[in-house]
Amino acid sequence: MTSPSNFQQSLDTLKAIKEDFEKTEKMSIDDIEAKFKAAQLAYDCCKTRINEVSKLIEQSKQG
Amino acid sequence: MNTISRNYSPEEISQHQTLGALLSRLKRTVEETYSRYEKVVAEITSVVTVKKGVRVELADYTESSGTRAKISAFIYTNVKHSFENQSGSELKDGLKVLVDLKISYSEEYGLSGNIRSIDPKYTIGDLAIMVKAMKDELSKKEIIDLNRNLPQPKDFFSVAVISPESSAGLEDFRSKLTGIPKSVCKFEERHCVFQSNKAGSNIASQIKHLNSCGENFDVIIITRGGGAKSDLYYLNDLQLAETVCLSKIPIFSAVGHDRDKTIIDEVANQDFQTPSLVASHIREVIILRATELQDTFLSIRQIADRNIENMGSNWILAWTRLSDTVSKKVHDFQQETFESYSSIRESSLSGLAENKLALNKTYNQAVSLGQSAFSDSCEDIHQSVRDITSLARDGIVKNDLFITKSHNQIVSGGQALLVNEYEEVNELNRSIVGLAENRLSCMEANANEYMQAITSSSHQLKKSVEERRKNDIKDRKKNLFIAMLLVLVSALIILFFIQNG
């Protein structure tokens, strides 16, 4: 189960990375790779919750 | 043994009165007893717009036992407007009013009232006064905004719900949260009686317990169904209000409909009109937050992909530009080289033609000079020969004269002396001729030698010019090849550096 603190931390991390990507015009391939790996890690921490919520959304659509 | 009772006869049936007859008597009694409008103080607990006016529910409360009496009454639109205009406040639930009320009775619909007028001076209801007094007290203690100012929960993982057991509101709440697994959000229910004098203290103790039990609840929800406003009386409790204010966990209030406000609604972190709405809010926030995280991640992936694609495009663009530049340079170089080659060829051919002309001219001049010199030499020789011959002839003539003279002298005297002189003269004559011939042959030999030298020099000059021309063309071709080689090597080095970043 994803903990609340992990989830919030991951969301904050992802937002910060997204902001970095949007702010920086030119980024080296190494930077892109490093940032994407960090984003992937943050996302993986919350993947269980994301999947369960996705099922919930599907249920809502069907219901 | 069963006894079957006997059926009533029509006479016996006609002896019993009908419900209609009973209620008709009641109606007559009500009309006779309450035929006039009477001044009545009551609190409005609901207002519903109907045709030609509004229907309100009037209630009467006591602090100890809650609702004491209630009745539904009709107010014409003009009466309502008159009250609102004069009082400056909207006719709404929670107002305590003084009305002119007449009771009527209908066999079909039961008791109801008709309000002829409302006293605008009597506008504040008891509940409103009570709530206002509690708010003043909480403000004085400077705690009224504490829970309201707590940060609103960004997500929900653990939620505590305080509600009456098996209430309609709790069912609505649960049904809206169907399908949310415990791994996503855990709901812990605490049940309390809401319609009792002890409701306030019970709910307050549950809130305190939830704050201190060690569970990290994201929110405490206080909820119940709608129902009559009189049922909310017990929730207007100062102790409960203080507990809500002091709770470290945000409290969501959903204790009734939009018309039913309590002190909890006033001080809670968020106020929802119904249990369904608070449940929907929780569900939406959970979905929203998870979707936000997923969308953020997908955006990052898209941006990263786009950046990499752009990088690739930039490489291709740079490569294309470089290729174009190199192609153009090579083309320009080829053009320049071709032009240079053409120019060199033309100048070489032109130089060659000029050299040829100059050579021919020089050769012709040399030949002409040689011929002229030869002619002059020949002329000199002939002149010399002529001179010598003339001299020789003169000598011979003189000899002949001398011989004739000598002969004459010999005839006349000394023959021997003349013979000797004659021999000397002849000898002299032969010497002159020999000398002349010798000189002539020498001059001819010299002329031939001079001619051969001129011819030889001319050939050497021609050969030298030809070799010089060939060497010149060879040197130019060599320089051209070296220049092309240097340009190609430079282009390859540039390409190598671009490919390797």
Express as a percent the part of chain B with pLDDT over 70. 79
DSSP string, B158-226: EEEEEE-TT-HHHHHHHHHTTT--TTT-EEEEEE--SSSTTHHHHHHHHHHHHHHSS---SEEEEE---
* Cα first-last separation, chain A: 25
Residue count of chain B: 501
What pLDDT was estimated at residue B419?
60
Neighbours of B312 (CB within 10 A): 10
Decide: helix, strand or coil at residue B129: helix
Closest CA to B150 of B66, B280, B267: B267
Assign domain B10-124 one CATH number from 3.50.50.60, 3.30.930.10, 2.40.50.140, 3.40.50.300: 2.40.50.140
Chain segment B99-116, per-residue pLDDT in tens: 999 999 998 889 999 999
Q: What's the pLDDT score for residue B93? A: 77
pTM of the model: 0.50
The span from the CA of B159 to the CA of B285, in Å, is: 13
- State whether A53 and B287 contact (CB < 8 Å): yes
Mean pLDDT in residue range B25-43? 90
Distance CA B49, CA B77 (A): 9
- pLDDT band of residue B1 (cuts 50, 70, 90) is very low
Three-state DSSP class for residue B59: strand
Residue B185 Cα, gap to closest chain A Cα (Å) = 10
Q: Phi and psi at residue B8, in whole multiples of 5°?
A: -70, 145
Q: Band the pLDDT of B209: cuts 50, 70, 90.
A: very high
Rounded mean pLDDT of B118-133?
Answer: 70
Question: Mean pLDDT, chain B, as a whole number?
Answer: 80
Distance from C-alpha of B349 to C-alpha of B345, rounded to nearest angstrom: 6
Q: Which chain A residues have a beta carbon less than 8 Å from that of B311?
A: 29
Given a cut of 50, whether residue B80 has pLDDT beyond it is yes
Q: Which of A29, A42, A46 sits opposite B311 (nearest CB)?
A: A29
User: Which CATH number fits the domain B142-273, given the four candidates 1.10.101, 1.10.1740, 3.40.50, 1.20.1070?
Assistant: 3.40.50
Helix B275-412, helix B168-176: angle, nearest 10: 20
Q: Which residues pair with B43 in a beta bridge?
A: B59, B96
In which band, very low, low, confident or very high, does the pLDDT at B210 lie, cut at 50, 70 and 90?
A: very high
Mean local confidence (pLDDT), B180-190: 90
Higher-confidence residue of B413 and B233: namely B233
Pairwise CA distance, residues B252 & B259, whole Å: 17
Domain boundaries, chain B: 10-124, 142-273, 309-499
B310 → chain A, closest CA residue:
A26
Parallel, antiparallel, or unpaired for β B38-50 and B53-62?
antiparallel
Residues of B in contact with A3 (CB under 8 A): 157
The string of pLDDT tens digits covering residues B366-382 is: 667 767 766 776 677 67
What mean pLDDT do residues B330-343 have? Answer: 76
Pairs of residues, one from chain A and one from chain B, whose beta carbons lie less than 8 Å apart: 84
Residues of B with Cβ-Cβ distance to A46 under 8 angstroms: 290, 293
Q: Which of B82-86, B298-302, B485-489 has the lowest mean pLDDT?
A: B82-86
In angstroms, the CA B477 to CA B485 distance is 12
**B264 has a pLDDT exceeding 80:** yes
Q: Tally the domains of chain A.
A: 1
Could you tell me the pLDDT band of residue A16, with boundaries at 50, 70 and 90? very high
A21 and B307 within 8 Å at the Cβ level: the answer is: yes
HSE toward the beta carbon, residue B447, CA cutoff 13 A: 19
CATH class of B309-499: mainly alpha
Considering only residues B423 and B221, tell me which one the structure prediction assigns the higher pLDDT: B221
Contacts of B300 in chain A (CB under 8 A): 14, 17-18, 21, 35-36, 39
Q: What pLDDT, in 10s, does the model give residues B44-77?
A: 888 999 999 999 999 987 656 666 788 999 999 9
CA distance B233 to chain A (A): 37
Span B262-289, mean pLDDT? 91
| Chain centre distance of CA B142 | 50
Distance in angstroms (rounded) separating the CA atoms of residues B145 and B163: 24
